[in-house]
Structure 1
């Protein structure tokens, strides 16, 4: 299994907007991707912003490509996410899940 990890930051005023976007639009998109195996959105205060870390799980890199396309190391952000966030990582990381408890 592959874990796809990405981070973005939102001002406190729009952090809830980003979380709602993830819970609705991102979740709906991911659920339709063959090989998607779940996701977590982590949230923590970071000064005047809120840091979000998304970890999405896929069966393999082909499934990741089904979500992100051939440039699968680039971040995928819809316009609603861009409006809610102040900054984000342009690239994501992928790692093989070595142990799942």
Structure 2
């Protein structure tokens, strides 16, 4: 602890879990003041997906561009595709498999 007192530039990272959930907690607090319940739910879903991208070390823009381009094909009735394949963690696995098999 003395090192932290001597040098104010040292970072104390003893609460990584709290630091990881802080953005979501602040967002949840802000959703309390949303006029439309459906909009608050949709925003919470988007924030969760973007937080998953961050946890999976995925560029959110790359993921969103790819998912938005693929989504119409997943929404067709007879496509037989599962929308869960577009979740960030599954998307990352599929993308890494595609990159390794294409080389």
Whether TM exceeds 0.5 here: the answer is no
Greater Cα radius of gyration, structure 1 or 2:
2
Larger relative contact order, structure 1 or 2 (CA cutoff 8 Å, min sep 6) = 1
Question: Which of the pair is proportionally richer in strand?
Answer: 1
Using the size of structure 2 for normalisation, the TM-score is 0.26
Using the size of structure 1 for normalisation, the TM-score is 0.26
Question: Which of the pair is proportionally richer in helix?
Answer: 2
